[in-house]
Copies of this chain bind each other. A is one copy, B any other.
Amino acid sequence: MNYHKVFFKPGDILVEVAEGSTLKEAMNDAGLEFDFLCGGGGTCGKCRVKISEGLTTPVTREQEMLQMKELDEGIRLACMTTVHNDVTVSLPNQKKLQHNILIASDERSFQIEPQLHKVFVEVDKPSRETQNSDWCRLKESLVKRGYKDSELESTISILRQMPDVLRGSNNRITAVMYNSKVAGIEPEDTTKTMLGMAFDIGTTTIVGYLLDLYSGKELSVVSTLNPQTTFGADVISRLTFASHEENGLIKLQSAVIESINKLIIEAVEKASVTRGQIYGVSFAANTCMHHIFLGINPQSIAVAPYVPALSEPLVLDASELKISINQAGKVFMLPNIAGFVGADTVAVLLATELDRSEDIKLVIDIGTNGEIALGSREKMVACSAAAGPAFEGAQISSGMRGAVGAIDHVYYRDKLEYSVIGGGEPLGVCGSALLDTVAGLVELGIVNKRGKILAYEQLTNPVARRFKENLIQHEGQGAFVLAEASTTGHGRPIMITQSDIRELQMAKGAMAAGVRVLIETYGIQIQDIKEVLLAGAFGNYLNPHSACVIGLIPLELESKIKMIGNAAGTGSKLALLSSNEFRRSKDIAEYVKFVELGSYPRFNSIFGECTYFNIQ
């Protein structure tokens, strides 16, 4: 087989790939983190790259996605273009590859009580007369420290290390205990240090917090794009990849574990500690990410009745998952609730203490699948709403994720103003700007209750008439221009089209219907809700007023909205720092009543109503 060189600029990264590989595969090999929104299906058109040297292959399906001018300039889609000779590829904007991730945590009082304990013991010296074994003498010294002999357990790996560790340290060792199990043994007294890492594996991003397990102090925070995005942007495309591609599950699992291990290295380097000092890692994730991380085929989640293989919390040896921490290290997996209400939701509930609240609260984590929970210490209900990827900028004509270059907020002043993430020329709109734009259009009467963009002539609000220039016809439909071609980073205009508004209506309709069904199921009125907690990256970026204007959240609740940041990460930390909190996560998962929207009576009509906008 022939191999060709692919040279990526900026960054000057050179890889060799087999004849016929796609540029997407070459970017993978090069370790470039790039967000293939449609998973490489050639349908989102977001993976534009420029071939600056070398022959290109004939254009096929790409033609639909690219303009003639772009083709002339050598712009191609990385997922559709194959390599047949040495080429040099310019990436659109290296900064775009960096991700803007929300890292915030809520303060919450709890008792630190780590899952693992360290016990320093001086083991009796071996005796020729009794010839008591190493393990027998170690047990005796642990019994003196309060452990029960009949409950003490070991592993073959510990037994293999024991003779050398005991003799190398003059019988002075530290036992790392997980309940009554000796998880590790170390020479001398190492009881002073015990670190852990709490992770939140999102579909898009992975965040890790390095913590001191004694003080709870956060030593460093690291994050990265979930490398699985290469195989598909959303949960459904990953489920499909895991089930239908050869070794798909293993590829996805390896990618995330490799990424976790890199984050661990990064985190310990930042804090000037070592991986060997980490004894525990906890994980919050949605059910699909959870299963893939564990190497459990998630196919049953993909099809009705959407049942997970595992909901219960799980403790594993870190070595079983090839997580590179101390060899005694343990992995703590938070429990799931249902196929699309996962351990991340449980972590959010753990962090927000919904199960202990006297007041009824609504907790919303908006994403491709929005998870919604409603409840108090009396009762909790939860559901998952299939919002689709609109909030993440996918299927929106000028849409993009909340990365550098995205318009994130829009203001209707004398003229239209907007802010861009990272400053500079805009490249597209992200979900929060989509909300702002449409909310403004609704408030100005430019878009009616049913979501239709009215013609300029139909507008009655004098303020609305200021935006005459922004209202255009584009490819046979109405559109609202946010940025002219001359002001954007790629020379194409950024706009919201009628189709985009329809996409948003579907997305917000799904979320709003979920909220409505939970309220009905719970048997309360909207005004009984005392607080609305918005979790997750998107929840923290959106303008609450916009969310209420478009009816994503009931308008009555606008003043009760509180952003709580990455509550899933906070829940993951709690489970790591406190065995009591980890146990409580199990109770929460069992206690929450799952509501399956698809089976709910009248769901379709509720959804239909919820696609309307609130204000006319």
Contacts and interface: CB of A to CB of B under 8 A. Distances in A.
Nearest to A331: B156
Interface centre among A159, A297, A599 (most CB of B within 10 A): A159
A310 B133 contact: yes
Contact of A320 (B156, B162, B164, B599): B156
A30 interface: no
A1 interface: no
Contact of A134 (B127, B136, B310, B598): B310
Interface in A306-327: 306-312, 314, 316, 320-321
Interface string A544-565: 0000000000000000000000
A178 interface: no
B295 A156 contact: yes
Given A164-B297, A296-B163, A297-B164, A307 B132 contact: yes
Contacts of A305: 126-128, 131
Contact of A131 (B162, B163, B167, B596): B596
A196 to B, nearest CB: 20
A300 B156 contact: no
Contacts of A131: 305-308, 337-339, 594, 596
Given A312-B133, A336-B133, A159 B128 contact: no
B596 A128 contact: yes
A594 B130 CA distance: 6
A375 to B, nearest CB: 17
Nearest to A139: B312
Contacts of A304: 128
A160 interface: yes
Contacts of A594: 130-131
A412 interface: no
Interface in A119-175: 126-136, 156, 159-160, 162-164, 167
Given A163-B297, A297-B160, A598 B309 contact: no
Contacts of A164: 297
A128 B311 contact: no
A237 B296 CA distance: 46
A312 B136 contact: yes
Query: Chain copies in the assembly?
Result: 2
A596 B130 CA distance: 8
A226 interface: no
B134 A167 contact: no
A156 B294 CA distance: 8
A584 to B, nearest CB: 16
A163 B309 contact: yes
Nearest to A336: B133
Contacts of A132: 307, 311
Contacts of A129: 596, 599
Contact of A133 (B156, B307, B321, B598): B307
A299 interface: yes
Contacts of A314: 156, 159
What interface size band does chain A fall in? 35 or more
Given A128-B599, A130-B594, A307-B134, A159 B299 contact: no
A160 B308 CA distance: 11
A296 B339 CA distance: 44
Given A128-B305, A305-B127, A311 B596 contact: no
B162 A309 contact: yes
Contacts of A130: 594
Contacts of A295: 156, 160
A473 to B, nearest CB: 44
A183 to B, nearest CB: 16
Contact of A310 (B126, B135, B311, B336): B135
Contact of A126 (B127, B156, B297, B307): B307
Contact of A128 (B127, B297, B598): B598
A281 to B, nearest CB: 15
A297 B133 CA distance: 13
Contacts of A296: 159-160, 162-163
Interface string A515-547: 000000000000000000000000000000000
Contact of A135 (B167, B306, B312, B337): B312
Nearest to A598: B128
A542 B300 CA distance: 66
Contacts of A127: 305, 307
Nearest to A300: B163
A353 to B, nearest CB: 24
Contacts of A336: 133
Contacts of A599: 128-129
A282 B596 CA distance: 49
B309 A133 contact: yes
A440 to B, nearest CB: 39
A555 B132 CA distance: 35
A134 B308 CA distance: 7
20 contacts: A128-B304, A128-B305, A128-B307, A128-B596, A128-B599, A129-B596, A129-B599, A130-B594, A131-B337, A131-B339, A131-B594, A133-B312, A133-B336, A134-B300, A135-B311, A135-B312, A156-B294, A159-B296, A159-B310, A163-B297
Interface of A: 126-136, 156, 159-160, 162-164, 167, 294-297, 299-300, 304-312, 314, 316, 320-321, 336-339, 594, 596, 598-599
Given A129-B596, A135-B310, 18 more contacts: A126-B300, A126-B305, A127-B305, A128-B306, A128-B307, A130-B594, A131-B305, A131-B337, A132-B307, A133-B308, A133-B311, A135-B312, A136-B312, A156-B294, A156-B314, A159-B294, A163-B297, A164-B297
